[in-house]
Structure formats: C-alpha cells, structure tokens
Amino acid sequence: MADKPSARSAHHDLQASGPDGIRNVVLVGPSAAGKTTLLETLLATAGAIPRVGSVVDGSTVCDFEDSERTHGRSMGLAVAPVRHKGTKINFVDTPGYADFVGELRAGLRAADSALFVVAANEGVDHATTGLWHECAEVAMPRAVVVTKLDHARADYPGVLAQVQAAFGEKVLPVYLPVHEDGALVGLRGLISGKDLEDEAAERRGALIEGIIEESEDETLMDRYLGGEEIGADVLVADLERAMERASFHPVVPVCATTAVGCAELLDLVVDGFPPPSTHPSPEVFLPSGAAAEPLTCDPGGPLVAEVVKTTSDPYVGRVSLARVFSGTLDADSPVHVSGHFSSFFGAGSGHDDHDDDERVGSLSYPFGQHQEPAKRVVAGDIAVIGKLGRAETGDTLSAVDEPRVLRPWNLPQPLHPVAIEATTKSDEDKLSTALGRLAAEDPSLRIFNDPETHQLVLWTMGEAHAEAALERLRDRFGVSVDTVEVVVPLRETFGGKATALGRHVKQSGGHGQYAVCEIEVEPLPQGAGFEFAERVVGGAVPKQFIPSVEKGVRAQMERGVRNGYPVVDIRVTLTGGKAHSVDSSDMAFQSAGALALREAANATSIVMLEPYDEIAVTVPDAMVGTVMSDLSARRGRPLGTDQEGDRAIIRAHVPARELTHYAVDLRSSTHGSGSFTRRFDHYEPMSEDLARSVTSRS
Ligand SMILES: Nc1nc2c(ncn2[C@@H]2O[C@H](COP(=O)(O)OP(=O)(O)OP(=O)(O)O)[C@@H](O)[C@H]2O)c(=O)[nH]1
Ligand SMILES: [Mg+2]
C-alpha cells in the first residue's frame, strides 16, 4: 500500500455512482485455500489486470509485501477493485492463517459480504470451521466458493457434502461443474437452468425450495409446488435477501487456473450480493460516549469512516485504508481522527486514546499496493488516505464539526509473548519509534516494557505473527533485533523469621564510613507488601539515619536476595545499631541496611513466588481430555468447565511460566480448534525443587 503511482494505466473509472453501485466483498478461507490466486483470476476476468500473477513467484496484486512474497502467503488485508457490469466491486483479500485473524476481522469490517473459499482437494477442517464462525459472529452474508476444481484430488461432491454437514442445509449450490473427458470445461447454472437431468434437476429442486423458503412472499411456495415456473429474477432477488440475513449461502464451484466459474461468480456478486446500504453499519457514539444517531449509508450524510488498516513507511509516511460508512470523503478536506479503544475494551487495550483534527492529504482508491487518484469517495466505498499522521488502525474519521466514534471491531488477544533486544546501539536508538509505528498499524500487536523484568516484550498472535513483525522491523525500518527467552516476573519472600546485623565500617585513612544496624525480618501474608518499623532505644541509631536504613533495605528488596527477583511481603524492624559522630552518613546507613537484609536472608529460607494466571480454554467437547491432561502437565489446577453449545470452556489456574508457549502449543494440540484467554490472578510459592531450577538474574 505504499504511495506509489499506479503501475497500471486507469483501465476503468473507479469512481462509484453511489452506494448501490458498490459491492464490498471479502475473501475468507483457510490458508492456501486459493483466495489470493482466485482474486487474481477475478481481476483478470473483469479486465482490471492484463495477466494473472502467481503467489509462488510473488507477482500477485494482493500479496505485495516483501514477507508475503518470500513466504508465499498473505499476511495482511489488501483491496483490489474491479468494475463489472457497471458495478464497482471492492474485493478484500485476507490471510487465512490463524495468526493474522486481526487482519481478517478488519477485512470483515470493510466488507458487506464474503466469498468463503474452500479448496476442492482439502475440504473442511477445524481452521475452516473457525473462520466460518468468525463470519457468523458478525453476521456476514456469505457465499461458499469451492476452488481448485482442476486439482488432481479435487472432489466437488465430497467437499460440498462436508460443507453442508459443517455449515448447515442452507448451503446450496447455484452452479454445478461440467466435465468433458474428465476435464472441467464450464459450469451449469441451476437457477435459470432448463432441461436438467438427474442429479442437476434434483439439486435445482433443492436450491429453488431453499431460496423460496427464505422468501418473504409466502404465496411463492404454494405457486412453486403447484407447478408454476418461478422467474430467475424473482429467485435472484430472494436469494439476495436471504444472503443479506446470512441465513442462506449459495455455493459456486470455480477454478482459478482455468478461470472457469469466474465470470459467473462476478455476475452473482453484482446481481445477488447485498450492496453497502443493506448491511448494518457499526454502532456510533459521540466522543463523550453517548450514543449517536445511527448511520445510514448516504453520501449526503455526516462523514463517518473507519481506518481498517494503516501502513507506515519511513519514506512515504502513514497511509490509511478507510471504509466510508456515511457521507463523502473529499480530497484536501479536514477530518476529525479519533481512537477511543479504552472506552470499549478497558484501559491498556491496544492504542492510546486520542482525538485530533487533521487534513486529508492525498485521496485515492486502493489497488493492491498501488493507488488510483480519487477526488471524492462516497459512503459505501473504500479509500486510501495519504499522510494522516495520527490515524491508527481502528480509528474513526468524521467531520470536524460533528465528531463521532465507531465501536471498533472485536480485537483478538495477543497471547504469544516474544522478548526482544536491539542487536546494536544504533538499532536500539530506532527501536521504540519503529515499534510505535508497527503497533499503530496492527492492534493485535502489543508492546510491553516489563518494569519488573526490564524486558521488552512483544505480545503477538503466534510465531508467524511474531516473525512477520520482526521482518517488518528489519525490512521497513532497518532495525535488527534478537529474540531472547521471556522472563516471567518471579518474586522472593522470607520463609521464616530472621535477625541479622548489617555492619558497614571502613575507617582506613581519610573520611571514614561507619554504620551498624540490627534488623528483624518476618514474613507477612501474601499481598501485604512491605512494612518498616523501628524499636531503637537510646538513640543507638540516630533519628536522621533511620530512613537511610529503610532506603537501603528497600533497594536490596528490589535487587532480590536469592535469584535477583524483587522481595515482597515482609516486615523489617530496626531494633538497634551503632553510629559514629563523624564517620556515619546517610550512604553508610543505606549500605548497612542493604547488607543486613542480605545477612537475614542467609539466616533463613527464601521462598520463590511465581505468578499464576486464570485461563479459560474453549475447545470442542471431544478435545476436553487432551486439554485437561496437558494443563495438569503444566501444573494447572482446574476450576470448572462450562458448556457453550458443542464447545467446552475449561477454567484453570496455571503458572505463568508454563504459559509462555501455550498459544502455539494449544493450537497444535487441538488442530487449530482451541482458543484461550488469560489474566493474572495471584502469586504462589514455588516448591523448593522447582525454585532450585530458577536461574539467577543477578
Ligand atoms: N491447482 C490449483 N492450484 C491453485 C488454485 N488456486 C490456487 N492454487 C495454488 O494454491 C496455493 C495457495 O494459493 P493462495 O492463493 O496463496 O491461497 P490463499 O488462500 O491466498 O492463502 P493465504 O494467503 O495463506 O490465506 C498456491 O500454490 C496456488 O498456486 C487452483 O485453482 N488450482
Ligand atoms: Mg492469500
């Protein structure tokens, strides 16, 4: 999405006549299903590109990022419009891999309908079901596209049966593939189809009944059963309404290699897919948080648009991809940019809140990484805005005199931590700016400077997401980092009472140092923190040095007394000591205090405390056993299991040290069907065996 001039000449005008002349269609489906390749063929079929590029050699319109080219798969959403039969179709390509679900959700927000892509040689697995669920969560109208019909192991009837078994009976083919001598040669339409024999006739019957059952015209079924021939236009109109309600899903077989089915698919999108005006707009609020008048997809209404993606580049600056929900975006006009994540998701969730007035610099239509200049972009359309310096993914753009905030889409929780260190000093200097830019682009990436462990931790969706982030740091910002093991913030406390003497005495020549203090240390209940008391009699430690002792003790507590982790939950009482009229000082008593605490630690046992998180793991019923035994191997304690449909939600307390790789492990042990959430719950003492295995940090 760099701000380069388009490599193609403007083959066709991308200005939409109005919302009804637009279809925003997102491609959703598991990784390697063939979405990016299918889109390439659709673009060529509609005449938007002269030839079809390939994912394998990195020449497609939508996989344009360096890392997408090297890995041969999509990592970010990309938009490519075509004009077909006078209608502008904005196709939105999304990555299928689970790590990039943040991009998928942004893509779902930008669109009004989806092509759910399944490969004819693969069928339906857990990842596919999960993606269907993502669409269902936002009630996305969707058609199923079965692609790769040319594949040697393609099994269209088999995949169709799987899709129907997984997604319901209202998933019905509107076309059937036609083979000649074993080769796919075209499609046979079932809606307007005449003279169909056997299987086709049967499927047509099922389709027509399926559509009519969804029709608002209650006489239609009787007329149909009475033998009346229902017109194709009536059926297509009913299909569109049923799709709109996301209660009916037409199936279209295609082949990206031969383009079979692509023209039919474009026709179906134009005739049967809902326009932006019929798709519910997101909820809208005033900056104060009060609900605002619901949006209508009207180019004459107040401007409300949403940034679904931002890309920053040190040379080009920030480029924002925005879906317009209401009003019209004009080039060179002022806009209000607001992000209020904390009001919707609570503090510390993603981007900081902000409200800024800025000017729309350049305005254009996206075409993969290229752009076509635009003067104005109407409600229902998708635009690229150059140089909105403050815009971050998920922000709302609105009129300066009528500011609005949209409820952001549901952000996924990044649960895979990766600790990083700058490779060199010059990388260190550039790192925080570069990370700030990456986080502005991608709300599913969180940057956390751990104040306890002093580690810089990237919270990511998984290994591929982490790798992509590091590649972007390197390729786009020229910053190289090394990954290091994530340190879980442990704590230390005293196992029993102890008394000790801290003697800091140096009196050989010059100004001496003299401080002696006697302390008593006792453990406090968990969470009590630190208490300091004194019982000094007769001024053995002069009043002004008592705070010095406390300061020294506190400093030592921060540095730890066993493995370098902070000491918590103790009471330290200063019971006595000695001072010298000349050689005692604040510094000397601080040192004595610190030393006394170390001595006290040697006199008793030191207990290591580790953080426990409460997690909730959601898995299909059949996987409960697997998850439970894995959790117990991680020293987890089950708290209970709830049922939600055919899925179980297992709650447990698990040590955070056992969870640093859980996002990746759970996905593989459940074949992509499991998900979880976690939050810190409490600290617990570690067994002495386990504590011995903790490596010292000092
Ligand atoms: N035989 C055959 N192969 C195809 C077809 N469409 C795509 N492929 C191949 O399938 C592989 C994956 O295709 P992509 O288009 O990258 O799949 P995707 O769904 O975009 O995958 P992600 O970006 O990872 O979500 C590539 O090697 C394609 O060449 C098809 O119609 N027939
Ligand atoms: Mg792709």
256 with 293, same domain?
no
Closest to 324 in 3D by CA, of 77, 74, 83, 16: 16
Q: What distance in angstroms lies between residue 584's CA and the mean position of ligand 2's atoms?
A: 72
326-374 per-position pLDDT tens digit: 999 999 899 999 998 888 887 766 678 899 999 998 999 999 999 999 9
Residue 435 is inside which H or E element, if any? Answer: helix 425-441
Pocket probe mutation, ligand 1, options 39, 55, 117, 118, max atoms within 8 Å of Cβ: 55
Judged by average pLDDT, the poorest of 6-10, 30-34, 470-474 is 6-10
Pull the structure tokens for residue 590: 């601080």
Identify whether 1 is part of a domain. no
Domain that holds residue 665: 608-692
CA 33 to centroid of ligand 1, rounded, Å: 5
Q: Whose CA is nearest to atom 6 of ligand 1?
A: 34
Q: Which residue is associated with the tokens 């009699």?
A: 537
Give the Å distance between the CA of 62 and the centre of ligand 1: 13
Strand partners of residue 618: 649, 675
Residue 411 counted as domain residue: no
Residue nearest to atom 24 of ligand 1 (CA): 31
Q: Given pLDDT bands bounded at 50, 70 and 90, which one contains residue 494? A: very high
State the chain's mean pLDDT as an integer: 92
Query: Residue 98's domain is classified under what CATH number?
Result: 3.40.50.300
Query: Cα–Cα distances in Å, from 289 out to 284, 286, 301, 340?
Result: 9, 5, 21, 9
Residue 195 and residue 51 share a domain:
yes
The residue type at 562: R
Do the domain assignments include residue 655?
A: yes
Q: How far is the CA of 550 from the centre of ligand 2 (A)?
A: 61
Claim to verify: residue 512 and residue 657 sit in the same structural domain: no
Q: From the CA of 54, how far away is ligand 2's center (Å)?
A: 11
56-83 mean pLDDT: 93
pLDDT for res 7: 43
β-strands 456-460, 416-422: how paired? Answer: antiparallel
Q: Which of 37, 61, 257 to mutate to test ligand 1, by most ligand atoms within 8 A of the CB atom?
A: 37
**Nearest 10 degrees: Cα torsion 658, 659, 663, 666:** 40
Residue 227 scores a pLDDT above 80: yes
How crowded is residue 480: how many other Cβ atoms within 10 Å of its Cβ?
15
Residues with CB under 6 A from ligand 1: 29, 31-37, 55-56, 73-74, 95-97, 147-148, 150-151, 255-257
Q: Is residue 14 part of a domain?
A: no
| Domain at 456, CATH number | 3.30.70.870
247 shares a domain with 180: yes
Contact 315, 4 (CB under 8 A): no
Q: Which amino acid is at 470?
A: L
Q: 359 and 311 in one domain?
A: yes
Supply the residue whose CA is at minimum distance from atom 1 of ligand 1. Answer: 151
Among the candidates 345, 377, 406, a domain finishes at 406
Residue 327 in domain:
yes
Ligand 1, atom 22, residue with closest C-alpha: 31
Query: 170 — phi, psi (to 5°)?
Result: -80, 25
pLDDT at 2: 42
| Measured CA distances, 484 to 304, 352, 417, 470, 696 (Å) | 43, 27, 11, 13, 16
Instruction: Give pLDDT, residue 348.
Output: 67
Classify each residue of 251-275 as buried b or exposed e, where b means 16 or more C-beta atoms within 10 Å of its C-beta. bbbbbbbeebbbbbbbebbbbbbbb
358 and 400 Cβ atoms separated by less than 8 Å: no
Protein residue with its CA nearest to atom 2 in ligand 1: 148
pLDDT of 1: 44
pLDDT digits (tens, 9 = 90+) for 105-128: 999 999 999 999 999 999 899 999
Atom of ligand 1 nearest to the CA of 37: 15
Q: What is the predicted pLDDT for the residue at 349? A: 65
Q: Of the ligands numbered here, which is closest to the C-alpha atom of 37?
A: 1
The number of CA neighbours under 13 Å toward the Cβ of 342 is 9
Residue 279: count of CB within 10 angstroms of its CB = 18
Total domains in the chain come to 5
Looking at residues 90-97, what average pLDDT do you find?
97
> Ligand 2 centre from 100 Cα, in Å?
11
Q: Is residue 696 pLDDT above 90, yes or no?
A: no
Cα–ligand 2 centroid distance for 30 (angstroms): 9
Q: Are residues 550 and 652 in the same domain?
A: no
* Ligand 2 centroid distance, CA of 73 (Å): 5
Q: Residue 503: which CATH number? A: 3.30.230.10
Asked if residue 260 lies in contact with residue 185, where contact means CB atoms within 8 angstroms, the answer is yes
- Parallel, antiparallel, or unpaired for β 396-398 and 334-339? antiparallel
State mean pLDDT over 232-251. 90
- At residue 13 the predicted structure's pLDDT band, cuts being 50, 70 and 90, is confident
One domain, residues 347 and 447:
no
> Regarding beta strands 78-84 and 87-93, do their DSSP bridges make them parallel or antiparallel, or are they unpaired?
antiparallel
Where on the phi/psi map is residue 198: left (φ > 0), alpha (ψ -120 to 50), or beta? left
> How far is the centre of ligand 1, averaged over its atoms, from the C-alpha of 389 (Å)?
36
Atom of ligand 1 nearest to the CA of 147: 31
Ligand 1 atom closest to the CA of 256, numbered from 1: 31
Q: Whose CA is nearest to atom 21 of ligand 1?
A: 32
pLDDT at 662 over 50: yes
Q: Which atom of ligand 1 is nearest to the CA of 56?
A: 27
Nearest Cα residue to atom 27 of ligand 1:
56
Which amino acid is it at 173? P
Query: CATH number of the domain that 627 lies in?
Result: 3.30.70.240
pLDDT per position as a tens digit, 145-192: 999 999 999 999 999 999 999 999 899 999 999 999 888 999 999 987
- pLDDT of residue 46 exceeding 90, the answer is yes
What pTM did the predictor assign? 0.90
Type and span of the H or E element at 483: strand 481-484
Atom of ligand 1 nearest to the CA of 39: 15
CA of residue 603 to ligand 2 center, whole Å: 63
Task: Return the pLDDT at 216.
Answer: 87
> Mean per-residue pLDDT for 316-324?
92
| Atom number in ligand 1 closest to CA 68 | 23
Q: Which ligand is nearest to the CA of 72?
A: 1
Beta pairing class for 570-578 and 530-534: parallel
Residue 403 has pLDDT above 60, yes or no: yes
The pLDDT of residue 315: 76
What's the one-letter identity of residue 570? I
- Protein residues within 5 Å, CB atom, of ion ligand 2: 35-36, 74
CA dihedral angle for residue 6, residue 8, residue 12, residue 14, rounded to 10 degrees: -20
Q: Are 246 and 139 in contact (CB under 8 A)?
A: yes
Please report the atom of ligand 1 found closest to the CA of residue 38. 6
For ligand 2, the distance from its centroid to the CA atom of residue 127, given in whole angstroms, is: 15
Three-class SS state of 61: coil
Q: Would you say residue 9 lies in a domain?
A: no
Is residue 386 predicted with pLDDT exceeding 50?
Answer: yes
- When pLDDT is averaged across residues 233-247 and rounded to a whole number, the result is 89
Please tell me the distance from the alpha carbon of residue 426 to that of residue 437, in angstroms, as a whole number.
18
Q: Whose CA is nearest to atom 8 of ligand 1?
A: 34
Q: For residues 433 and 48, what is the distance between their CA atoms, to the nearest angstrom?
A: 38
One domain, residues 32 and 160:
yes
What is the reported pLDDT for 480?
A: 96
| The predicted structure's pLDDT at residue 12 | 56
Domain boundary among the residues 278, 297, 325 is at: 278
Task: Judge whether 377 and 383 are in contact, CB under 8 Å.
Answer: yes
Element housing 638 (H / E):
strand 637-644
End-to-end CA gap in the chain: 46
271 with 292, same domain: the answer is no
pLDDT score, position 6? 41
Residues 675 and 591 in one domain: no
Asked whether residue 664 is assigned to any structural domain, the reply reads yes
pLDDT at 512 over 90: no
Query: 3-class secondary structure for 372-428?
Result: EECCEEECCCEEEEECCCCCCCCCEEEECCECCEECCCCCCCCCEEEEEEECCHHHH
DSSP E strands, 222-292: 249-253, 284-285
State whether 213 and 354 are in the same domain. no
pLDDT at 10: 44
pLDDT tens, 390-399?
999 999 999 9
The residue among 306, 310, 304 whose CA lies nearest residue 323 is: 306
Please check the confidence at residue 570 and state whether its pLDDT lies above 90: yes
The answer to whether residue 478 sits within a structural domain is: yes
Taking CA atoms only, the protein residue closest to ligand 1 atom 10 is: 34
Residues 547 and 600 in one domain: yes
Neighbouring-strand partners of residue 116: 28, 144
Question: From atom 32 of ligand 1, which residue's Cα is the shortest distance away?
Answer: 148
**Ligand 1 atom 5: residue of nearest CA:** 148
What percent of the chain has a predicted confidence (pLDDT) above 70? 98
Distance in Å, CA 445 to ligand 2 centroid: 21
| Residue that finishes a domain, picked among 278, 294, 326 | 278
User: What is the Å distance from ligand 1's center to 34 Cα?
Assistant: 3
Specify the CATH number for the domain of residue 295: 2.40.30.10
35: its two tokens: 């979405």
